[in-house]
C-alpha cells in the first residue's frame, strides 16, 4: 500500500511518518513545506505546498499513492480568526486541490477534521452530531468536510480533539508542557474549568489514521482520547504526575479570557465506532502524560 502524507513536518505528520515507516506493507511518501524535519530515519520526502494546485496535481500524478492522509492545515484558532484569507486558502482551497488530485488518480483520501466544527452546546459527541461552528477555523474545517462529502471520491474523515505530543523541531507547546514548565518555575497559571474535551495523544491519532487506511474504511470516524476533562482537570493531573505544587493552578472561567476566536464550551467525542469497526484503542490522559514524560527524558538525554 502506497501512502502519501501531507503536512509531514507537523506534530501528527511526524508521528504518522514514524509509524508508517515501521510498517513493512507500507510504501511511504512524506510531503510538507520546506525541508524535512525528520532526520534520524531515511524516508522518501518531497517539498509540497498544498495550496499550489499545479504542484499538488503533478506530485500526486507522479507518486500514484493508493491512500492520501491529509494533515496539512492552519490550526491556530486565533490566527485563523485574525487572518481569515490565509485560513481559507490553507483549509478550503488546499482541500479542493487535494480532492481534485485524488480524483485524478483514484486515491482514498483520509482527511483530518476537528471538534471545533461544533457549537459546544453538548458533548461528548457521536459521528452523527450536527455541526454548527462558532469560529472561523471551525467554519473552514466544516466547509472542507462538505467539499469532500460531495466530491465523489473514496474518502474517510478522522475527526479529533485537542491533540498533544512532542516532536523535535516543533516550537508549538501543548497543555502538558505548558503546565509543567510554569509550575516548575513557580508561575501562577489561570486554567479554565468550564470547557470539556477528550484530549488526544498524537500517537493515538496517527494509529487511528493508519487503521482507517489498513481497513480501507470510509465515512466519518471520531479518533480522540477517551477521558472527558476540563483544562483544569488536565493541569491537576500534570501536577500530580510530576509532583508539582498545585497552588499555582488557579481555576478560571473562560469568560474571563479575551481571545479573538470563540471556543465551543463542551465537545469531546464518543469513540465507540472507531473501537468497534477499526480496533482503535486510545490511551488514557494519565497514560499520555507518562508517554510524554518518557519522551521528554529521551530528548534531553
Quick one: average pLDDT of 160-171?
Answer: 87
CA 191/CA 105 separation, integer angstroms: 47
Q: Flag whether pLDDT at 169 surpasses 90.
A: no
Count Cβ atoms below 10 Å from residue 257 Cβ, excluding itself.
Answer: 10
Mean pLDDT of 121-139: 98
Q: Is residue 152 packed enough to be buried (19+ CB in 10 Å), middle (13-18) or exposed (0-12)? A: exposed
The domain 2-165+200-226+268-284 is placed in CATH, from the list 3.20.20.140, 3.40.50.720, 3.40.50.9100, 3.40.50.2300, at: 3.40.50.720
The pLDDT tens digits for 235-273 are 999 999 999 999 999 999 998 888 999 999 999 999 999
Helix axis angle, 175-184 to 231-242, nearest 10°: 50
Query: Are the CB atoms for 249 and 187 separated by under 8 Å?
Result: no
Q: Locate the domains of the chain by residue range.
A: 2-165+200-226+268-284
Mean pLDDT for the chain overall: 96
Residue-wise pLDDT for 202-230, tens only, equals 999 999 999 999 999 999 999 999 999 99
pLDDT range class, residue 124, cuts 50, 70, 90: very high
List all residues 6 or more positions away from 148 whose beta carbon is below 8 Å from its beta carbon: 95, 99, 109, 111, 155, 157
Q: What is the mean pLDDT of residues 159-177?
A: 87
Measured CA to CA, the distance from residue 203 to residue 84 in angstroms comes to 30
Other C-beta atoms closer than 10 Å to the C-beta of 249 total 21
Q: Residue 8 pLDDT > 90, yes or no?
A: yes
Task: Collect all residues with Cβ–Cβ distance below 8 Å to 218 and sequence separation of at least 6.
Answer: 108, 154, 155, 156
pLDDT of residue 301: 60
Give tens-digit pLDDT for 63-86. Answer: 999 999 999 999 999 999 999 999
Amino acid at each position: 500500500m502506497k501512502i502519501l502524507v501531507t503536512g509531514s513536518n507537523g506534530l501528527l505528520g511526524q508521528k504518522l511518518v514514524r509509524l508508517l515507516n515501521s510498517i513493512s506493507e507500507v510504501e511511504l511518501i512524506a510531503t510538507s513545506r520546506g525541508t524535512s524535519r525528520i532526520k534520524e530515519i531515511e524516508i522518501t520526502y518531497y517539498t509540497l505546498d498544498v495550496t499550489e494546485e499545479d504542484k499538488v496535481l503533478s506530485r500526486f500524478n507522479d507518486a500514484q499513492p493508493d491512500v492520501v492522509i491529509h494533515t496539512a492545515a492552519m490550526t491556530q484558532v486565533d490566527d485563523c480568526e485574525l487572518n481569515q484569507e490565509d485560513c481559507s486558502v490553507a483549509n478550503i482551497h488546499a482541500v479542493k486541490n487535494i480532492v481534485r488530485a485524488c480524483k485524478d488518480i483514484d486515491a482514498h483520501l483520509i482527511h483530518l477534521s476537528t471538534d471545533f466544527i461544533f457549537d459546544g452546546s453538548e458533548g461528548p459527541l457521536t459521528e452523527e452530531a450536527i455541526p454548527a461552528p462558532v469560529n472561523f477555523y471551525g467554519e473552514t474545517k466544516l466547509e472542507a468536510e462538505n467539499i469532500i462529502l460531495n466530491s465523489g471520491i473514496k474518502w474517510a474523515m478522522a475527526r479529533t480533539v485537542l491533540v498533544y505530543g512532542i516532536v523535535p523541531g516543533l516550537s508549538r507547546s501543548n497543555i502538558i508542557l505548558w503546565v509543567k514548565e510554569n509550575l516548575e518555575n513557580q508561575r501562577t497559571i489561570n486554567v479554565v474549568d468550564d470547557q470539556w474535551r477528550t484530549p488526544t495523544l498524537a500517537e493515538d491519532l496517527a494509529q487511528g489514521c493508519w487503521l482507517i487506511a489498513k481497513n480501507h474504511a470510509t465515512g466519518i470516524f471520531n479518533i480522540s482520547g477517551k477521558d472527558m476533562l476540563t483544562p483544569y482537570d488536565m493541569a491537576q493531573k500534570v501536577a500530580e504526575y510530576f509532583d508539582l505544587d498545585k497552588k499555582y493552578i488557579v481555576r478560571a472561567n473562560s469568560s474571563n479570557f479575551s481571545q479573538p476566536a470563540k471556543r465551543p464550551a463542551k465537545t469531546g467525542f464518543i469513540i465507540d465506532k472507531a473501537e468497534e469497526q477499526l480496533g482503535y484503542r486510545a490511551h488514557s490522559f494519565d497514560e499520555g502524560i507518562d508517554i510524554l514524560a518518557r519522551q521528554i527524558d529521551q530528548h534531553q538525554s
